[in-house]
Chain A
């Protein structure tokens, strides 16, 4: 039997070259081997891949020689019967063989055509793009658009949608968004402060209208009760700030142009500055108005103040000038000076009591364990703490109580009954007089021994009668001695006179003597805050320098701003500024808010929690009902 094999090759021009050969054999082998009837130079083809033999007149059998399959009419097979009349298409590797009957000879004809390139590299390669990353990465243009769209949707469209959804909740005190993630929180530049933590999700609570800077009405939705006003008249406040000049004026103009008017709450109460308490007010917020205030508000009573180190007015302590008829102290403010005096109604010699060499000091040495303040150290005299005790908050001192502070030395004992001492009642001169009179009325002078029945005596009655007459006179006049005792106790050298200012002109109930009511000053500086607790590491005398030399209870020992022991000995301005005359060893930078606060009350200025020392401050409270609670206790 014969087969016709037509090998088709392509010219580079695309033209076909056909080489026809006739194979005379019963079996036609297809393979890579050169001896094969159909030679396919194709590495995917076995050297002897398949053989074709005649089955009957018009039918051929093709079967694989090895186990390698081949393609028959698009399907993989290892053997197949081929119908010559119908023809067939065989695939071997990169070759396609078409079976047909040759028209002229009637022989089965195999037309062989290479359909795949020898190698992948032989395929057409676009040099322009093959060496680039074009096919490996999404295009720059595409990803640029995609990313830009993503940003605009996620961070512009979604937040605006969030705003539009919840805008109706604005200006409603208790309206809250549902929990969850809200798009416009992505716009938040920082966490809200502790006080506003519950508004973290509720942008509309403050940002009421788009493109309108936060206005006071948003603040007042919740703060209608507790919003403070530094001065009630907002216009006056703005006047105090004055018209900004120069660059500041330009800034104000720009702010106005961008719809950010001045004088809103949020100008000082800035938010989105991180979770935590609001920061303390900075000096600049105060000095914007108070520096040169008089030039803008000529009718103000407040002195100009700027930096504490250089431009703060002298302190004006509140002084006791006496006690009114109702028992309340009369207070008066005065500019501090070195010889300032008040009228406490007391006598006290600080210098004498603090001496380390006199009799008082010696007495302290002789009585160990009694003066607590000195027991720990060398017992060489009284210390401040022996009389002055801090109040429960530690900010200030309790008034000195005679019973605790003085009486252990300044005893009011006047009589002894058996082993019991009788004392005069402190603070009640009428009772003092009555007690003394009663003491002389209810007792008699000691009976002379010569009047006793069994005693030896001078012979005769004269001596006894004389003694009896003398004694009878003594008994008769004994109560009159009470007047002498009353006079002695209220006069120079007497136990009342030692400490109290005593005048004549009192009622008969007080033996004609009058004691000036006593008023101790609990707080000298009411417009500023001073906390002894913050200064407990300093020696008392480093500020109260005159205590060691003053023997006048009326002398004001509280330091002023300057001079020895003055505040400027340590405290400098917020930026460290100080006067040339001030000699500061360890400067303490002190802004206005250290002592003052915008929201003025009698308490300590507000400080962030991390700046506070010790437990919550409690302002001074007198412990006894006898005193005058000027400052209601305020828990801070």
Chain B
């Protein structure tokens, strides 16, 4: 989302002007990009902050019954606003499939989604009147908080991880694409296969295990932690080195080549897995955010029906 090309808008702030060359061009990369978080000069964050402050002041200073805040006029109002806001926020899922510019551009919509979503913490919690218990009402609140916190996590991930993702893709030879990562591994595997032909059966089996292991293997835990205990390539490299220690050095030892190739494969795998880990974190929050949103809408419906059912 952070990389969605947007129509030229006013830059958030004017960067210091670097020394101009005679051509009039500068070395400084000028960007007109403005992230969705600060869209239109942070219009939505300001609006949300103002509303949150106003609501908290209202909660403190409006004389209301000390108990059952949810059933006071302010409580009902906050509840209605909160429920409608939840439905509107959910609509981003549909809205995001249509990228449009303008006043109600997708970026504006996303900016509003993020900051009004954060505002929902204040609305929902004040609606609860801080009366929590083991019931459907607190369940709806808890689900709402899970959705919002996962959303905040997602925004943080979008703000920080793409940079790490790019950094991981660049090396001395330039950038590498996802497709190229696979191709590189395939090439290394082919070379390993050829280089391992002269090896005895024990060593060949070790290399074979490395070849047979799917580079995309691993559970969600492995994917998100980037830790792959029992990785066949690393085991093969380590075991081959251990075996070689006790052998006499000979010229043109095929193990030399295999070892070098395994080292390169390990490095390539490490980069691929770092890439997978970062991409995993970029995506994982949505696996919480989206299902929990629907769980929230269901629990919210139960909450509303229950209030009127046992009126």
A-to-B contact residues, CB < 8 Å: 32, 34, 41, 43-44, 46-47, 66, 68, 93, 118-122, 125, 127, 130-133, 136-137, 140, 143-152, 155-156, 159-160, 163, 184-191, 203, 207, 210-214, 247, 251, 254, 258-260, 270, 272-273, 279, 282
Contact = CB atoms under 8 A, between A and B. Distances in A.
Interface in B285-311: 286-287, 290-295, 297-299, 301-303, 305-306, 308-311
Contact of B186 (A119, A150, A160): A119
Contacts of A41: 193-194, 197
B274 interface: no
9 contacts: A32-B197, A93-B208, A120-B211, A125-B216, A133-B223, A163-B310, A190-B131, A270-B65, A279-B67
B135 A145 contact: no
B295 A147 contact: yes
B291 A118 contact: no
Contacts of A188: 133, 135
Interface in B196-241: 196-197, 199-201, 204-205, 207-208, 211-216, 219-220, 223
A135 B236 CA distance: 27
A210 B309 contact: yes
Given A41-B197, A151-B302, A156-B301, A144 B291 contact: yes
Given A43-B207, A131-B275, A187 B290 contact: no
A137 B283 CA distance: 11
Contacts of A254: 73
B189 interface: yes
A130 B279 CA distance: 11
B309 A163 contact: yes
A255 B273 CA distance: 60
A187 B287 CA distance: 28
B179 interface: yes
B308 A211 contact: yes
Contacts of A44: 204-205, 208
Contacts of B133: 188-191
A140 B287 contact: yes
A124 to B, nearest CB: 10
Contacts of B299: 151, 155
Contacts of B267: none
Contacts of A258: 311
A247 B178 CA distance: 63
Interface string B114-135: 0000000000000000010111
A416 to B, nearest CB: 72
A132 B283 contact: yes
Interface of B: 65-68, 70, 73, 131, 133-137, 139, 178-179, 182, 185-186, 189-190, 192-194, 196-197, 199-201, 204-205, 207-208, 211-216, 219-220, 223, 275-276, 279-280, 283-284, 286-287, 290-295, 297-299, 301-303, 305-306, 308-311
A120 B293 CA distance: 38
Contacts of A148: 294-295, 297-298
A133 B280 contact: yes
A313 to B, nearest CB: 24
A41 B198 CA distance: 9
A291 to B, nearest CB: 14
A574 to B, nearest CB: 11
B70 A189 contact: yes
B79 to A, nearest CB: 12
Nearest to B72: A251
Nearest to B306: A187
A133 B287 contact: yes
A78 B67 CA distance: 82
Given A93-B208, A189-B135, 15 more contacts: A41-B193, A41-B197, A43-B207, A66-B201, A121-B186, A122-B186, A131-B279, A140-B291, A144-B293, A147-B292, A148-B297, A148-B298, A156-B301, A203-B310, A213-B311
B238 to A, nearest CB: 18
Chain A facing B: main interface SS: loop
Contact of B310 (A46, A121, A125, A207): A207
Contact of A156 (B189, B214, B302): B302
A169 to B, nearest CB: 15
B280 A259 contact: no
Contacts of B279: 131-132
B298 A151 contact: yes
A160 B133 CA distance: 20
Closest 9 CB pairs of A and B: A119-B189, A147-B295, A151-B298, A119-B211, A43-B208, A144-B294, A155-B302, A187-B306, A148-B298
A120 B200 contact: no
B107 to A, nearest CB: 23
B301 A152 contact: yes
B311 A119 contact: no
Nearest to A132: B283
A191 B132 CA distance: 11
A43 B205 contact: yes
A119 B190 contact: yes
A279 B204 CA distance: 81
A210 B308 CA distance: 8
Nearest to B128: A189
A118 B189 contact: yes
Contact of A136 (B223, B297, B303): B223
Contacts of B70: 189
Contacts of B208: 43-44, 93
A87 B134 CA distance: 72
A279 B311 CA distance: 22
B182 A140 contact: no
| Residue in A118, A185, A207, A210 with the greatest tally of chain B CB atoms within 10 Å | A118
B44 to A, nearest CB: 25
Contacts of A210: 309-311
B269 to A, nearest CB: 10
Contact of A251 (B68, B73, B201, B292): B73
A214 B311 contact: yes
A156 B291 contact: no
Q: Which of A155, A247, A258, A260 has the most chain B CB atoms closer than 10 A to its own CB?
A: A155
B301 A43 contact: no
Given A43-B205, A189-B131, A150 B295 contact: yes
Contacts of B200: 47
Contacts of A211: 308-309, 311
B211 A133 contact: no
Nearest to B190: A118
B193 A187 contact: no
Contact of A270 (B67, B295, B298): B67
Nearest to A158: B302
B279 to A, nearest CB: 6
Nearest to A259: B311
A447 to B, nearest CB: 89
A167 to B, nearest CB: 12
A184 B298 contact: no
Contacts of B280: 133
Nearest to A135: B216
A119 B193 contact: yes
Contact of A151 (B201, B219, B295): B295
